[in-house]
Amino acid sequence: MKTITVVGMGYIGLPTAITLARGGFDVCGFDVNTAVLDSLRAGKLHIVEPGLQEALTETINSGRLTFSDTCPTSDAYIICVPTPFSVENGKRRADLKYVDSAAATVGRAIKPGALVILESTVPPRTTERMAKVLEESSGLTRDQFYTAHCPERIIPGQMLRELRENDRIIGASSPEAAELVVEIYSKVVQGGKLHVTNDVTAEMCKLCENTFRDINIAFANELSMICDPLGVDVFELIELANCHPRVNILTPGAGVGGHCIAVDPWFIHEQFEDTTPLILAARQENDFKPFYVAKKVHELAPDATIAVLGMAYKPNVDDLRESPSITMAHEFEKLGHKVICCEPNASVEAIEGIPNFSLAEAIEKADFSIITLAHDEFKADKQTIAKKPFFDCIGLMR
Ligand SMILES: NC(=O)c1ccc[n+]([C@@H]2O[C@H](COP(=O)([O-])OP(=O)(O)OC[C@H]3O[C@@H](n4cnc5c(N)ncnc54)[C@H](O)[C@@H]3O)[C@@H](O)[C@H]2O)c1
């Protein structure tokens, strides 16, 4: 394994390509988006991630990382393309069109003995589906190439460190495939352990990690809605309950957002509707929370101009995907409120039509604020927030 093509130069693919190049492999970053490739060829990052710009410059200069809009022949391929969900007849289903088209393209480039690793988060049995696409488009038989699923668990903000230090799950379709994957990851993973299993277990491992968190947060959100009429501080309650050595309840919030925790549980539920009522209930509970907050505040202050403080899906990022704050802001609009927001990480005038102001301006213009995220800017200026009535989804003002 000397040459590796990483398919998809996004949040996961690019840091992975850089890490592999630093590990001594000759890496080609392949993408279908020419704007992304133009930027990378010019040595400029198109995503925000600490330390990545310096690492990009270093690996391009070393000659070990190049970019291409055609998929070359190489010893191994790592597929890191999007896996969003689409809604069909009211039901959410994994949209695997990017995985299918990436596999078809890779299939046209592979030679016997090649290894294809799927790193995208996928529903169970997608690695086998990818193998069938590879077989069809390559003309090779199943025993002439190797496949594996190695789910990615790195967190934005710490990607380069976690790529080296996190444990890796290697879901190989054969012992030979496992050996080849271990050969690659053992050159870049320092500190973390490599765990070999089969591909379906690896697919389920990534999904069950995020589903576990979704269910735990749903419980915390449910507690917050019970505590409200009881006059109990849910954050104190959870702190006290977590003093028990075997209890670890996560934190309630405005709901659950992002492209992982709010999406991955659906990839299990879509295949096992009858046996996953708990997974479905957690998704529904977390999706309901922004509507609960909007209704509650509407009853308290029916004519108020509302400022939503935090529109991203988690603290200190600009990522708005599946953000419950955006759902909540639109719900306030439906209830007849004028709504503004403060999202200090997005330097735009409006987010989905909701005017975006600095914290001081938002508080000045609004009658009532909703604190949805513990952004550093909010933590540093609680006095400004306290000037007007607020609803605190996250316990920031305690
Ligand atoms: N971003 C994260 O924090 C994170 C964490 C863990 C797992 N994941 C998973 O990793 C996968 C990739 O996510 P991402 O955030 O890197 O996506 P992204 O949208 O940032 O990047 C995907 C890239 O793939 C390219 N692409 C799409 N189809 C292609 C094709 N057929 N051939 C070549 N390139 C193609 C796109 O142009 C884009 O540049 C997803 O399954 C996601 O769920 C993401």
Q: Does 398 fall in a domain?
A: no
pLDDT of residue 396: 97
In a shared domain, residues 100 and 148? yes
In a shared domain, residues 165 and 48? yes
Percent pLDDT > 90 in the chain is 94
pLDDT of residue 48: 81
CATH number at residue 326: 3.40.50.720
Q: What's the 82 CA to ligand 1 centre distance in angstroms? A: 4
Please tell me the distance from the alpha carbon of residue 100 to that of residue 94, in angstroms, as a whole number. Answer: 12
Sequential DSSP letters for 155-213: -TTSHHHHHHHS-EEEEESSHHHHHHHHHHHTTT--SSPEEEEEHHHHHHHHHHHHHHH
pLDDT of residue 318: 83
Question: What's the number of domains the chain is made of?
Answer: 2
In a shared domain, residues 250 and 382? yes
Please tell me the distance from the alpha carbon of residue 101 to that of residue 93, in angstroms, as a whole number. Answer: 17
pLDDT of residue 157: 85
pLDDT of residue 88: 87
Ligand 1 atom having least distance to the Cα of 153: 6
Residue 38 neighbours by CB distance under 10 Å = 13
Please tell me the distance from the alpha carbon of residue 84 to that of residue 10, in angstroms, as a whole number. Answer: 14
In a shared domain, residues 123 and 173? yes
In a shared domain, residues 252 and 180? no
In a shared domain, residues 177 and 256? no
Q: Does 147 fall in a domain?
A: yes
In a shared domain, residues 185 and 264? no
Render pLDDT for 318-367 as a digit per residue (tens, 0 to 9): 889 999 999 999 999 999 999 999 999 998 999 999 999 999 999 999 99
Q: What's the 163 CA to ligand 1 centre distance in angstroms? A: 16
Regions of the chain with pLDDT less than 50: none
Ligand 1 atom having least distance to the Cα of 119: 10
Q: Which residues of 227-240 are buried (b: 16+ CB within 10 A; e: fewer)?
A: beeeeeebbebbee
Please tell me the distance from the alpha carbon of residue 296 to that of residue 290, in angstroms, as a whole number. Answer: 10
Q: Does 77 fall in a domain?
A: yes
Render pLDDT for 108-144 as a digit per residue (tens, 0 to 9): 999 999 999 999 999 999 999 999 999 999 999 999 9
Q: Does 156 fall in a domain?
A: yes
Render pLDDT for 234-252 as a digit per residue (tens, 0 to 9): 999 999 999 999 999 999 9
- Catalytic residues, which ones? 206, 260
Does residue 98's CB lie within 6 angstroms of at least one atom of ligand 1?
yes
Global pTM? 0.93
Q: Does 202 fall in a domain?
A: no
Q: Which domain holds residue 304?
A: 231-392
**Residue owning the nearest CA to atom 24 of ligand 1:** 8
Residue 251 neighbours by CB distance under 10 Å = 16
AA identity, residue 221: N
Q: What's the 175 CA to ligand 1 centre distance in angstroms? A: 27
